Amino acid sequence: MNITIVGAGATGGYFGARLAASGLNVTFLVREKRAAQLREKGLVIKSVVEDLTLATPQIAINAEDIPACDLVLLGLKNYQLAASLPQLKVLVNRGAKILPFLNGVEHFEILAKELGQENVLGGVCKIISTLDSEGTIHHTSKVHQIIFGELEPSGKEFCLGLEQAMAKANFKVKYTENILNEIWSKYAFIAVFSGVTSAGDLTTDQICAHEATVKVYRRSLEEMKSLADAYGVALSEDFVEQNVEGLPKYAKGSTSSMHQDMRKGLLLEVESLQGAAIRLAGRKNMELPTIETLYGLIKPYEMGSVE
């Protein structure tokens, strides 16, 4: 199977490198700056599971230079999606399917509209990884999993083949016929986890130290679960309790990637997470008062600094 990874950052770079090491034909479609970095140093992963270095990863700057592609793994930030669409169209026109790992749910509508619903798969990834200034990927948890499934019945055969193709890679692979549940479960969690940590400038242990703050966390989870229900996705009955009870289990000082980005003055995905929840609720004539509050507190930092 020929796979193209759009971006070689903390997510795409990690899974792409593992797939390449397993013997699959993997090309990294990257910008010139990242390409120069990869040519000079290779693709380097420092992992609690297993370190890996691809000395000469297969690189492309333009999709036109990729002769064959069966699958595109999309590991971008939501604010990078629009700029990537022309490249994605080239690959889809050559027969590729798109497997996105973006946060949230709105990107599925965009991809389906621009590339055709039949060409888009559903997927989520679970990993804690970062990219340092030297281009090295640091994988700091034993969690590393890809979960995927078809959004249209016609995609099932491809997904089953993909499950087999990825079987030898050094990360967990799961195919599911209920991918929407996985997508919404992750979205609901991230919208709350990123929202409370970022809006309050809080780590998990700081949240746990105050019952009033835990109450905000709980109410946010309840609102997101209700939103999923409104869209026909039934999250597990213990979704709220499971996530509240999971807070004290994080290592001291743990926080969300959005909160880390806020601290660094980077762009934030507030529109794709909290903003999207508000828009989706509006379609169903629902209100999410706690999520709306989190959104209002984070929004001024969206562009990296308060104007």
Cα of first residue to Cα of last residue in the chain, in angstroms, is: 47
Dist. CA 44–CA 85, nearest whole Å: 27
Name the token pair of 5: 């990874």
Dist. CA 149–CA 147, nearest whole Å: 7
Dist. CA 147–CA 134, nearest whole Å: 29
* Contact assessment for residue 87 and residue 60, using Cβ atoms and an 8 Å cutoff: no
What letter represents residue 178's amino acid?
Answer: N
- CA-based R_g, the chain, Å: 19
Dist. CA 8–CA 129, nearest whole Å: 12
Residues marked active site are found at 186
Strand pairing report for 43-47 and 52-54: antiparallel
- Cβ within 8 Å of residue 245, ≥6 positions away: none
